[in-house]
Amino acid sequence: MKDKFAERLLLFIAFSAILSLLLITFFIFQQGVPLIFKVGLKNFLSFQWAPTQGHFGILSMIIGSLMVTVGALCVGIPLGLSCAIFLAEFSSKPVQNILKPVIELLAGIPSVVYGFIGIVVLVPLIRNLFGGSGFSVLGAGIILGIMILPTIVSISYDSIKCVPAAYRDGSFALGATRWQTILMVVLPSARSGIIAGIILGMGRAIGETMAVIMISGNALRVPHSLLDSVRTITSTIALELSYSTGDHRAALFACGSVLFIIIVILNIIAIRITRRD
């Protein structure tokens, strides 16, 4: 009887989590999708965002989100993959026991702390080196690149460690050096997990809000360089939801629907890649 009760309780908890996700999904789409049909897809995918005047174009925000995310990946992929290779292939066990928890601790730091550090350190540095205000795509990309490091490092490290030792031994037996073994044997064997970690990190970067608001400058325009200010979809929702009403509020939920779809697609791709091999 106790086992049956525990089984039913765990099943209920599992289904309650799924039900919560379905309710959130229904609420977001129920609030936002009617606005897209009302104004038309052409208006919704235009560059002009002026909700009080009936213009609900989010294309500039989509481009801004993608630029910031690409910048984050340009920072996070080389650093994260290099760190994972060092931890898995070159470091000793005591070093792994110290560095890996420290890197994973980065995931627990609130995003507002990253934003504050960016304002105090990164923004003045960009302003002095390259000019401009310092609040830019470049600054937001660097901060987000640091924030996604724990995701990329942890998943890549686990994937590299799961490569059988026989693969390395066979490569060494054929005369390959350690670097050749890593580049031509270990990394190709672990590519599914590495790519999945990158995609999950990309999802984290797209969905980040507070640090981006503090660093990006929030200019509602299409950026033409890395030093231009930018506004992302998440920034718009966070900045305007508190005072929005009517179609303006529905438009913000429509932005949330677009963001939800993007993140779901990225997670599905990551799951399919990890299961492919």
Residue type, 55: H
The CA-atom distances, in angstroms, between 118 and each of 65, 96, 254 are 18, 28, 30
Helix (H) or strand (E) holding 119: none
Per-residue confidence (pLDDT) for residue 68, from 0 to 100: 92
Per-residue confidence (pLDDT) for residue 105, from 0 to 100: 85
Phi, psi of 55 (to 5 degrees): -110, 120
Phi, psi of 49 (to 5 degrees): -115, 100
Per-residue confidence (pLDDT) for residue 81, from 0 to 100: 92
Residue type, 125: L
- Which residues does 187 contact at the CB level (< 8 Å), separation at least 6? 85, 160, 194
Q: Mean pLDDT of residues grouped by 10 in the chain (277 residues)?
A: 82 87 88 86 84 85 90 92 90 85 84 90 90 87 91 90 88 87 89 86 86 87 87 89 85 89 82 68
Closest to 232 (Cα-Cα) out of 49, 29, 28, 33: 49
The reported pTM is: 0.85
CB < 8 Å & 24+ apart, contacts of 103-110 = 103/149, 103/150, 103/153, 103/154, 104/150, 104/153, 104/154, 105/150, 106/146, 106/147, 106/149, 106/150, 107/150, 107/151, 110/210
Per-residue confidence (pLDDT) for residue 99, from 0 to 100: 86
Per-residue confidence (pLDDT) for residue 142, from 0 to 100: 93
DSSP labels for 36-67?
Answer: HHHH-HHHHTSS-EEGGGTEE--HHHHHHHHH
* Tokens standing for residue 274: 């990890």
> How many CA atoms does the CB half-sphere of 36 hold within 13 Å?
16
Given its phi and psi angles, is residue 220 left (phi above 0), alpha (psi -120 to 50 degrees) or beta? beta
Helix (H) or strand (E) holding 184: none
Per-residue confidence (pLDDT) for residue 165, from 0 to 100: 87
Per-residue confidence (pLDDT) for residue 246, from 0 to 100: 85
Per-residue confidence (pLDDT) for residue 274, from 0 to 100: 66
Domains belonging to the chain, first-starting first, are 2-276 (1.10.3720.10)
